[in-house]
Homo-oligomer: A and B are copies of this chain.
Amino acid sequence: MGKILEIYRSSENCPIRTVLDRIGDKWSILVILILGEEETMRFNELQKSMNDISQKMLTVTLRKLESDGLVHRRIFPEIPPRVEYNLTERGISLLPHIHSLSDWATKNIDGIRRSRAKSGN
Contacts and interface: CB of A to CB of B under 8 A. Distances in A.
Interface residues on A, range: 35 or more
A113 B22 CA distance: 12
A81 interface: no
Contacts of A90: 108, 111-112
A20 B106 CA distance: 12
A5 B109 CA distance: 17
Interface in A1-52: 1-2, 4-5, 8-11, 15-20, 23-25, 29-30, 33-34, 37-38, 49-52
Contacts of A114: 69
A56 interface: no
Copies of this chain in the oligomer: 2
A24 to B, nearest CB: 3
Contacts of A98: 16, 101
A16 B105 contact: yes
A54 interface: no
A104 to B, nearest CB: 5
A69 B16 contact: no
Contacts of A67: 115-116, 119-121
Contacts of A102: 15-16
